[in-house]
Amino acid sequence: MMRTAVTEALGIDLPIFAFSHCRDVVVEASRAGGMGILGAAWMTPEELEVSLKWIDEHVEGKPYGVDVVFPGTFAALEDERDPDQILPAEHRKFVKNLLDEAGIAPLPEDDAKEFMREHAGKMKMTPRDSERSLEIALKHPGVKFVVGAMGVPPKHVVDRIHSHGIKVGALVGSVDHARKQQEAGVDILVGQGSEAGGHVGKVSSMVLWPQLVDAVAPMPVLAAGGIGRGRQMLAAMALGAAGIWCGSIWLGSRESELSDIMKDRLFASKSEDAIVSKALTGKSCRILKSAYTEAWDKGVHPDPLTFPLQSILAGEPMRRAERSRNLDYWTYAVGQIVGDMKSETSVRQIFAEILGEYVDSMEHLQNLLDD
- pTM of this prediction? 0.94
Question: Domain-by-domain residue ranges, the chain?
Answer: 5-74+125-254, 83-123+271-329
Question: What is the distance between the alpha carbons of residues 157 and 213, in angstroms, rounded to a whole number?
Answer: 25
> Helices 347-370 and 230-238, interaxial angle, to 10°?
60
Tell me: the pLDDT tens digits for 118-156? 888 777 667 778 889 999 999 999 999 999 987 899 899
Predicted confidence at residue 42, as pLDDT, reads 84
User: For 5-74+125-254, which CATH class?
Assistant: alpha beta
Residue 83: pLDDT band by 50, 70, 90 thresholds? Answer: confident
Predicted confidence at residue 138, as pLDDT, reads 98
> Average of pLDDT values for 261-280?
98
Tell me: the pLDDT tens digits for 166-175? 999 999 999 9
Contact 38, 55 (CB under 8 A): yes
> Average of pLDDT values for 58-72?
91
Residue 112: pLDDT band by 50, 70, 90 thresholds? Answer: confident
> Average of pLDDT values for 236-259?
98
% of the chain exceeding 70 in pLDDT:
96
Nearest CA to 59 out of 95, 33, 98, 89 is that of 33
Predicted confidence at residue 371, as pLDDT, reads 62
Predicted confidence at residue 248, as pLDDT, reads 98
Angle 147-158-54 from CA coordinates, rounded to 5°:
45
Backbone angle region of 243, left / alpha / beta, with phi > 0 → left and psi within -120 to 50 → alpha: left
